[in-house]
Structures are given as structure tokens and as C-alpha cells.
């Protein structure tokens, strides 16, 4: 009699939110998803012992779960939660009102009247910067405490609410929460998180689930191996300068397997290549580390072999080999996986369960194989936010039905392969991922390619530095780890226009932070390009751009009205996003030029002028045509004569070479500076980006612009004629 084996494969993953240098978590999503997706999806199986499943745990996720379980994780959102509401300052109140409604509004906020009331009072659309002042004052201290509690309370899933009745009692209370109750909510979060890794291990040992892993920091392995592999499926896409580190691809797999064995006590036999991204060249790496099977999307299969009948081709495992090494490979049923991930939340649980079972029955009926395997592989955490009940009733109906079905059973992948070893071989595996059988999400767009360029340049610097300098073992280990983190797929996922989130700029900042940490750990100046955002959604528009040549008197005074009139001007007091605070040191930046000289002028706030006596100014200049970097440094001082120094930053070595020290700078009421173009290797029509930092003992106090940069074209002979005609 024909049988159908269903392999449910839940991929559990979050980006690595930890800054290892600062030892802080920048975002809360690992902590919060643990309360819902991770706990619900695993613990519900306790009620259905006949249901088998496979859970793929990305090592970088497990690291974060263990940090929280052992109270080593300190994320910014948790800090804002635990601070007594009566002690919140204005900026912290704004932070809560902006960030503490980051949950699915329809399923996690609207069902709770008091939480929805807080959101309605804040406003359902993004407030303008001018509106924040009045909005903050709409809320009492008690309101802010209630918001702190609700944001953390709404993330508990159905299983946590069943196991900890206190959660339901607090939900029922709705408002008027105390500081003690807020503290208790956080303690309950820790209780849930602390149970997760032991529960995964226990259920794996009992044989109900299989545990698998992914490359450590979830990189797109084929692109880490060689970005040129992307051309195989995307021959016409623009590509960045080649990045190729096969040794990093191998290390990401090796680190993952060793870590997994250390945590769970056994080696994994299965691995989900991040985003289902595969190519022939990485097959030997899997095999050498003892991985017996991998999985990817059905479209990769259909591109790898000649197919006349999808049903006959898809519902069976294969062997894929390269250069004498081989592993088994499975292919997900895209349609069924996407129905669960994207469609069933919009339907009743009864209809969703019936639809999935009907599809499985149809596959069983039409399959030419006696033992057919269906692989349902998808994200195991995010989809459930869209189900009104977190997906509980759908899974209960489905698991009850499959527990007693005479012909359809669930299976762990390793069990099925043990009983039904594959007998067909793929010798030329298609290079692609689970999305459109290519790597378009992670490479080929302007932002994605820029990120790969930043990664390539930093990787080159690191290799050169480790080769030519003696670096302590612990530091060498940390900087390599930062490279591995930056190779993660998540940073590239949010670049470009295919996917977007309210946190795009934060993901961009984190990516560049990990690369910058390498220079910081090696005590080398971070190159200016890493301080320039890749995501430029909120590029700051200048109030004025240069409209003509200027030749100001460098005397530290606004000598006469006209000397800076045709310069460009950046108003620091009106820049930034919703959470931007007014600058406290510099109120405005003028910039302009004649044919030979760049002029800058910094106008201080009176209070900033007094407070910043021990500060230094750094002007970071990047010539866009060749990415050449210059750094101009001088004190933020209004009491004595001083000079400025220009440095040429060698990107490969990270070393600053002094170009020279110059005296064409003056400060009295303002700071005025003249820098010859020749000193900065600037020639006509070159595009220049720059930003300014104010530092105190290498600690950045402020950056202008806060996001992005100021830019201009070095003038040519026709500049003034062009501006005159305009």
C-alpha cells in the first residue's frame, strides 16, 4: 500500500543582534520570538507524541538564547523596559512611543483594548518630528509603565499562557500595572527562555524531533565562496568587485558543527544551507564535516535535472556530488510551505487544515512512488504572528488528524533517509537559493553590492594586518568572528528594494558596526566609508547647495555678510529622523570652494562652545571615483591658536599617513578653515562625500549629518558659468 511521509522542517533563526565589543544586544527580537514562535512550536508537540518534526537551529540564534537564559544578554529594549516609568526622560519616552508598538497590530495589539488605546492615542501613522512634543505629553507615568508591560506581555504565545497563568491574569488586568508586575513579566520571559535549549535536547533524545543546523552566522555560502557564482543564474545583473573566501565558507560550517556538538552532545547529520543557497563547490565542505543531508527549494531541483513530471521528480530524496564528495539532498514543496507561511493565517483553522490535508492526499494519489516524501520547509517563527491565535488551533487540528491517519505519517528526515536511501544522483547542482532559484535578494542591487564592497575591503585589510602585525590570540579570534558575523545573510536581506522594515537603518548600522569593530579591536582608525550609511532612505537634503565661488577671510569671524553667501549650508538643528535630538555643539556647517580651495565653517552653539573645550573635530572625506579617504583633524577650541592636520588613510593597512599640517584655520566666534584641493588629491568634477565627527578621547559625541553625508562636485572651469545660467 502506498504511503506518504511528511517531513515538517521548521527553520529557527534570528540575525546576530549582539555587538561583541560593547557586549550589548541592539535589538530584542531573539528574546521576544522565544516567547512565541520557539516555545509554541516545540512545546505543542508534547501533546502529540506521534508527530515527528525537524527543527533547524542556527548557531548564532542558540548563542543568543543561551546568553538570555544565563542572563548575559542586555538588550536596549530590555533596559528601557526595566527603567522605572517615573524616571524616564524625554528621549526614553519617545523611544517607547516609537518602538514599543512593534508587534502585529491586528493580532497582538488590537485584541487587547488597553494596549490598542495606547496606540490610538499615539497615532496610527508615523508622527512628524514637530508632533512628538505634544504626543509625549499625552501620556502619564502610569501610561508609560503600562506600555512597558504591554510590549513585553503581548509576545507571550499560547503555550506560555497555558503554562504560566499569571500571564493571563495580567492580560485581563489590562492597565494600572505596577513596577513589581513589570518585573514579574520579565522574570517570566527568562523562565520560558531558560527552558528552550533543554527542551530541544530532551525531545531530540526521545526521538520525536531531529535537530539540524546551518552555517554559523547564516551566510549565503556560495557568495562567501565566490560572489561570481551569482552570475550563473543572474548573468546580466551588475556585480560588485569579486569577493572570494572559500576558507570562510568552510569555517562557517565547521564552527557550526563543533558548536552544535558542544551544546547538544552529538553531531548533526542534517544542515539547512542558509536561505537554501547551494552550489556544487560547497558540497565537499558538508561531506567533510559529517553532514549527511542538506535541503533547498524545488526550483533548484527543476533547474538541476531535466524534468518532465514535477510530481515524479520532486517527492523523493537525491544524492548530489562534486569532486568525489556527496551528500543526500531534499527539496521543499514550495506550494505547501508557502500556504502555511503566507496563506492559512487568512483562513479559518478548519479550512486551512482541510486544505493542507487535501493537498497531501492528492500527492499520495498521484505519486508514482510507493513511499513518497513531502518536505514542508519554512520559517518556524515569523508566520504565527499573523494567525489570530498564534496558529494554535490550526496545528491542533492538523496534528490530531495526522496522528491517526492510516496512510500519511510525519517523519524525521534522518529516519526517512535511513529507511529509503536515495538512488538518483545530481552531478551538476544548480547554483541558487529558495527565492527565485538565484541570489538576487543578497547581491546585484546597488545597496547589496555596496555592502559586499565594504565586506571585501575590510576582509582585505584584516588579512593584510594579521599577516604583517603581531596580534594577540584573543584579539585575532574576535576580529575573525566579526568578519563571520558580517557575512551573515540578514544584513544583505534588508538592503535594496525587495524587503523593508522599520529597522532597515538599524540593520545597516549593525552591519557596518561589525566591520568597524575589526578596526577598533586592532586599534586602527575606522575608515570613513564605514561611517557612511548604505541605506539612504532618509538622505538629508541640504538647505542650500553651493551656488558660486567663495573666498572668505579665514579669521574665525563672520567678517561680512557676503563672504559665505554662496556657500552650501547644512543646518544640524533640523536634521535627523523622529528620534533625533537637537545638536548640542554645532548649529550649522557651511562649505564652499573656489577653483583651488575647499572652505569649511563650523558655527557652534553657545553652550556647545563652552562644553566642548576638550573635544576634537574630524572631517572624514571620501573621493567617490576611487574611494580614496582623507581625514582632517583639529581641536574644537576657541581660546588659542592651532593648526589642522591632513591624513591619507591607507585602506589596506589601516594606517594614517600625515600629508601635512596647515595653519589656514582660525576660531574666534566660529571656526573657519581653508584646505587646498591639491592636498586632498581633488581634481575637477570629482564627486566628494564628507561628514564631520566631534570626539572626546576617541569617543564620538556627535556626527554631522547624523545619517548620510554632505556631498559636492569639485568645480571645473565652467562651474560659475553654469550656476549663473541656472
DSSP E strand stretches across 492-638? 568-571, 586-593, 597-604, 616-623, 628-635
Pick from 245, 328, 262, 264: nearest CA to 290:
328
The residues with which 293 forms a beta bridge, in sequence order, are 270, 328
What cell numbers appear for 227 in the block? 560572489
pLDDT at 626: 78
CA dihedral 350, 351, 353, 356 (to 10 degrees): 170
- Compute φ and ψ for 567, nearest 5 degrees: -80, 165
Fold of 1-212+241-427: 7-stranded beta/alpha barrel (3.20.110)
Q: What is the pLDDT of residue 609?
A: 67
Tell how far CA 133 is from the center of its chain. 30
Residue 288 has pLDDT above 80, yes or no: yes
Per domain, the residue ranges of the chain are 1-212+241-427, 446-524, 568-725
User: pLDDT tens, 642-697?
Assistant: 999 999 998 888 889 999 999 999 999 999 999 999 999 998 889 898 989 988 87
Model pLDDT for residues 192-227, shown as the tens digit of each residue: 999 999 999 999 999 999 999 999 999 999 999 999
CB hemisphere CA count around 584 (13 angstroms): 8
State the number of CA atoms in the 13 A half-sphere of 589 facing the CB. 25
Residue 170 has pLDDT above 80, yes or no: yes
Among the listed residues 331, 252, 247, the one whose alpha carbon sits nearest the alpha carbon of residue 295: 331
Q: How far apart are CA 312 and CA 367, in angstroms?
A: 6
At 573-586, the pLDDT tens digits run 654 433 333 346 88
For residues 696 and 615, the answer to whether their CB atoms sit within 8 Å is: yes
Angle CA 653–658–662, to nearest 5: 155
Report residue 594's pLDDT band, with 50, 70 and 90 as the boundaries.
very high
Rounded mean pLDDT, 328-349? 96
d(CA 351, CA 607): 66
Report the relative pairing of strands 628-635 and 616-623 from DSSP bridges: antiparallel
Question: If we measure between CA atoms, which residue out of 570, 567, 604, 564 comes closest to residue 587?
Answer: 604
Say whether the peptide bond before residue 479 is cis (omega within 30 degrees of 0).
no
Residue in this structure with the C-alpha cell 538565484, named with its chain if needed: 438
Strand, helix or coil for residue 311 = helix
pLDDT in tens, 63-101: 999 999 999 998 999 999 999 999 999 999 999 999 999
What 3 state SS string does 560-572 have?
CCCCCCCCEEEEH
Q: Report the share of the chain in percent with pLDDT over 70.
A: 95
The H or E element that residue 657 is part of is: strand 656-662
Q: What integer pLDDT is reported at residue 93 of this predicted model?
A: 96
Provide the residue count of the chain: 726
Mean pLDDT, the chain, integer: 92
Q: What is the mean pLDDT of residues 390-410?
A: 97
Amino acid at each position: 500500500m502506498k504511503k506518504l511521509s511528511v517531513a515538517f522542517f521548521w527553520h529557527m533563526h534570528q540575525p546576530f543582534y549582539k555587538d561583541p565589543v560593547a557586549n550589548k544586544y541592539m535589538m530584542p527580537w531573539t528574546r521576544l520570538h522565544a516567547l512565541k514562535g520557539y516555545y509554541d512550536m516545540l512545546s505543542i508537540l508534547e501533546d502529540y507524541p506521534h508527530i515527528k518534526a525537524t527543527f533547524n537551529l542556527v548557531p548564532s540564534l542558540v548563542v543568543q538564547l543561551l546568553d538570555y537564559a544565563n542572563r548575559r544578554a542586555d538588550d536596549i529594549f530590555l533596559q528601557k523596559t526595566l527603567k522605572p516609568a517615573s524616571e524616564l526622560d524625554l528621549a526614553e519616552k519617545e523611544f517607547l512611543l516609537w518602538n514599543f508598538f512593534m508587534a502585529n497590530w491586528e493580532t497582538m495589539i488590537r485584541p487587547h483594548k488597553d494596549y490598542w488605546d495606547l496606540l490610538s492615542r499615539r497615532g496610527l501613522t508615523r508622527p512628524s518630528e514637530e508632533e512628538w512634543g505634544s504626543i509625549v505629553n499625552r501620556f502619564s507615568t502610569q501610561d508609560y509603565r503600562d506600555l512597558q508591560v504591554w510590549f513585553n506581555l503581548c509576545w507571550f504565545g499560547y503555550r506560555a499562557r497555558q503554562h504560566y497563568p499569571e500571564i493571563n491574569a495580567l492580560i485581563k488586568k489590562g492597565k494600572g500595572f505596577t513596577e513589581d508586575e513589570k518585573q514579574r513579566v520579565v522574570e517570566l520571559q527568562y523562565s520560558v527562555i531558560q527552558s528552550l535549549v533543554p527542551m530541544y535536547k530532551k525531545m531530540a533524545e526521545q526521538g520525536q524531533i531531529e535537530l539540524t543546523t546551518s552555517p554559523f552566522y547564516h551566510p549565503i555560502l556560495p557568495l562567501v565562496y565566490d560572489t561570481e557564482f551569482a552570475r550563473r543564474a543572474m548573468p546580466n545583473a551588475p556585480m560588485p568587485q569579486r569577493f572570494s573566501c572559500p576558507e570562510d565558507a568552510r569555517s562557517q560550517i565547521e564552527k557550526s558543527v563543533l558548536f552544535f556538538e558542544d551544546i547538544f552532545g552529538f553531531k548533526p547529520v542534517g544542515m539547512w544551507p542558509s536561505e537554501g543557497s547551494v552550489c556544487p563547490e560547497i558540497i565537499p565542505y558538508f561531506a567533510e564535516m559529517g553532514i549527511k543531508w542538506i535541503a533547498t527549494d524545488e526550483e533548484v531541483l527543476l533547474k538541476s535535472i531535466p524534468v518532465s513530471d514535477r510530481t515524479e521528480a520532486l517527492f523523493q530524496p537525491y544524492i548530489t556530488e562534486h569532486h568525489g564528495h556527496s551528500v543526500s539532498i531534499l527539496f521543499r514543496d514550495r506550494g505547501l510551505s508557502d500556504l502555511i507561511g503566507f496563506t492559512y493565517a487568512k483562513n479559518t483553522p478548519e479550512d486551512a487544515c482541510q486544505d493542507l490535508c487535501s493537498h497531501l492526499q492528492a500527492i499520495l494519489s498521484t505519486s508514482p512512488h510507493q513511499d513518497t516524501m513531502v518536505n514542508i520547509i519554512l520559517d518556524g517563527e515569523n508566520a504565527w504572528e499573523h494567525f489570530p491565535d498564534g496558529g494554535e488551533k490550526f496545528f491542533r487540528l492538523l496534528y490530531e488528524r495526522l496522528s491517526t491517519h492510516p496512510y500519511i505519517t510525519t517523519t524525521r528526515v534522518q529516519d526517512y533517509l535511513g529507511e529509503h536511501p536515495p538512488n538518483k544522483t545530481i552531478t551538476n547542482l544548480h547554483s541558487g537559493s529558495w527565492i527565485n532559484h538565484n541570489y538576487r535578494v543578497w547581491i546585484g542591487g546597488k545597496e547589496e553590492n555596496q555592502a559586499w564592497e565594504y565586506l571585501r575591503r575590510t576582509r582585505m585589510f584584516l588579512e593584510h594586518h594579521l599577516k604583517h602585525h603581531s596580534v594577540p590570540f584573543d584579539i585575532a579570534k574576535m576580529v575573525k568572528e566579526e568578519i563571520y558575523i558580517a557575512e551573515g545573510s540578514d544584513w544583505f536581506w534588508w538592503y535594496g528594494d525587495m524587503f523593508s522594515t522599520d529597522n532597515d537603518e538599524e540593520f545597516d548600522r549593525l552591519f557596518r558596526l561589525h566591520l568597524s569593530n575589526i578596526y577598533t579591536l586592532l586599534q586602527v582608525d575606522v575608515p570613513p566609508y564605514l561611517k557612511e550609511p548604505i541605506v539612504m532612505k532618509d538622505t538629508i537634503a541640504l538647505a542650500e547647495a553651493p551656488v558660486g565661488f567663495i573666498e572668505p577671510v579665514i579669521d574665525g569671524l563672520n567678517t561680512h555678510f557676503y563672504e559665505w553667501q554662496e556657500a552650501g549650508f547644512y543646518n544640524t538643528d533640523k536634521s535627523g529622523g523622529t528620534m533625533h535630538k537637537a545638536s548640542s555643539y554645532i548649529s550649522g556647517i557651511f562649505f564652499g570652494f573656489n577653483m583651488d580651495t575647499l572652505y569649511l565653517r563650523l558655527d557652534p552653539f553657545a553652550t556647545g562652545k563652552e562644553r566642548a573645550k576638550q573635544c576634537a573635530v574630524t572631517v572624514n572625506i571620501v573621493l567617490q571615483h576611487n574611494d580614496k579617504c582623507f581625514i582632517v583633524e583639529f581641536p574644537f577650541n576657541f581660546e588659542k591658536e592651532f593648526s589642522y592636520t591632513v591624513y591619507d588613510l591607507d585602506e589596506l593597512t589601516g594606517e594614517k599617513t600625515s600629508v601635512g599640517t596647515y595653519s589656514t584655520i582660525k576660531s574666534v566666534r566660529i571656526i573657519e578653515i581653508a584646505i587646498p584641493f591639491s592636498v586632498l588629491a581633488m581634481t575637477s568634477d570629482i564627486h566628494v562625500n564628507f561628514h564631520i565627527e566631534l570626539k572626546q578621547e576617541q569617543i564620538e559625541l556627535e556626527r554631522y549629518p547624523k545619517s548620510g553625508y554632505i556631498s559636492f562636485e569639485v568645480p571645473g572651469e565652467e562651474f560659475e558659468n553654469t550656476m549663473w545660467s541656472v
